[in-house]
Amino acid sequence: MTHSFLPVAQPDLGGQELAYVTQAIQEGWISSTGRFLTRFETEFAQFCGTRHALACANGTVAIHLLLLGMGLGPGDEVIVPSFTYVASANAVTYTGARPVLVDSEPVTWTVDPRHVEAAITPRTKAIMAVHLYGHPAPMAALLDIGRRHGIPVIEDAAEAHGAKVEGRTVGGLGFAATFSFYGNKILTTGEGGMVTTDDDALAARLRQLRGQGMDPERRYWFPLVGYNYRMTNLAAALGCAQLERAEELIAHRLRIARGYRERLAPHQERLGLQLASEASWARSVHWLSCILVPAAQRDLLMTFLAERQIETRPFFPPMHRLPMYADPSFRQGRPLPVAEALGDTGINLPTYTALSDADLDRICGAILAGLER
Ligand SMILES: *Cc1c(COP(=O)(O)O)cnc(C)c1O
């Protein structure tokens, strides 16, 4: 019996996406000004409960822009979980500052506040909380550490649009936050990013840096080295259409996470399988549904699934295993066992709107068969 191919991710563009992009083209506003950009920034700020939202070309430059706006540079350090996507650490490196890599919590898979506090030095200029796989980082503990040490906490919320901590939406929890709208994220603009903040002075600096550094009062006067990190009105048209359906798109992620849980949870102990959990204070938006399996079986299971036309991805390798961050000084000489275990055992499963109950049956049946072999 032949089966259709099930990818890991697939965008859901079934709302006003085509209509809005068509309007942007018909109106001739295809570059980095236009009504969809203004609307997307206004509505995304409302979505996060912040005063400001600045649209950017992608999520990586959103982080870079934020760190530049905070004045980060050579000699400075930013505490980052080693278990994250490479962009979180690279954006720190772009500024000349150094990422200090710390270990994660085994339950939420996000940065462990105890390790954050231990890693603080006189050079620490920011703590980066990364809300991984849709689960928020433990913001209450991180903000408490930040307050006590006078260090701002920033959020990399690329994977967690609409996630909540004690009822408050990510993006508005720390000093500032960044988002990605890459094609596989919860909301997408193709390529795109956003910085959110309540800080008026920071927002003004970010706006200037994003637009080549131009003086807001004097056209073509560039008093500093800026960047072109702008989003297009075409991308923002997609963003407006996605944001209209944010709760619907999140509901599909939750449905899929529930579907995997119902089918796999009864077999967890027997097969050494672990599903994502949700802390009592958190609403996870389950960006990708994931499982952890014994390290020795992980790659075999992925091959077994690929042979059955089911695409999966391994978890990110922790940053301290990549060549540019391998020097022990990046982790202050400490071992990072939780990040390593996650990198060795995690699998991302297909997670997208069009996934049906029958597809979930097929995927979970194959997972169980693969692990039982
Ligand atoms: C996707 C992602 C980014 C980068 O976003 P791009 O839009 O791909 O540049 C940054 N951090 C995390 C955690 C991500 O998942």
- The predicted-structure confidence for 23-51, as pLDDT tens digits, reads as follows 999 999 999 999 999 999 999 999 999 99
Interval between CA 60 and ligand 1 midpoint (Å): 6
pLDDT reported for residue 80: 98
Known active-site residue 185: yes
Which of 180, 185, 287 has the most ligand 1 atoms within 8 A of CB, as the residue to mutate? 180
Which of 8, 60, 131, 231 has the most ligand 1 atoms within 8 A of CB, as the residue to mutate? 60
In the chain, the domains with their CATH numbers are 17-244 (3.40.640.10), 246-372 (3.90.1150.10)
> Measuring from atom 2 of ligand 1, which residue has the nearest CA?
158
Length of the chain: 373
Strands across the sheet containing 164-165:
168-169, 164-165, 282-283
Nearest residue to 228 (alpha-carbon basis) of 215, 202, 206, 210: 210
Interval between CA 58 and ligand 1 midpoint (Å): 8
**pLDDT tens readout for residues 311-361:** 999 999 999 999 999 999 999 999 999 999 999 999 999 999 999 999 999
Cβ-in-10-Å burial (0-12, 13-18, 19+) of 233 comes to buried
Nearest residue to 289 (alpha-carbon basis) of 349, 364, 352: 349
pLDDT band (50, 70, 90) for residue 2: low
**pLDDT tens readout for residues 262-321:** 999 999 999 999 999 999 999 999 999 999 999 999 999 999 999 999 999 999 999 999
**pLDDT tens readout for residues 135-145:** 999 999 999 99
The ligand 1 atom nearest the CA atom of 287 = 15
Q: Which of 185, 210, 252, 320 is catalytic?
A: 185
CB-based contact 203:177 (threshold 8 Å): no
Interval between CA 115 and ligand 1 midpoint (Å): 23
Interval between CA 343 and ligand 1 midpoint (Å): 17
Distance CA 68, CA 62 (A): 10
Q: How does the average pLDDT of the chain come out, rounded?
A: 97
> Distance of CA 6 to CAs 155, 305, 310, 359, Å?
32, 10, 5, 8
Distance CA 44, CA 373 (A): 47
Interval between CA 187 and ligand 1 midpoint (Å): 12
Q: 349 phi and psi, to 5 degrees? A: -105, 160
**pLDDT tens readout for residues 43-100:** 999 999 999 999 999 999 999 999 999 999 999 999 999 999 999 999 999 999 999 9
Pocket of ligand 1 (CB under 6 A): 58-60, 84-85, 87-88, 130, 156, 158-159, 180, 182, 193
The ligand 1 atom nearest the CA atom of 182 = 7
How big is the CA angle at 125 (ends 182 and 325), to the nearest 5 degrees?
60
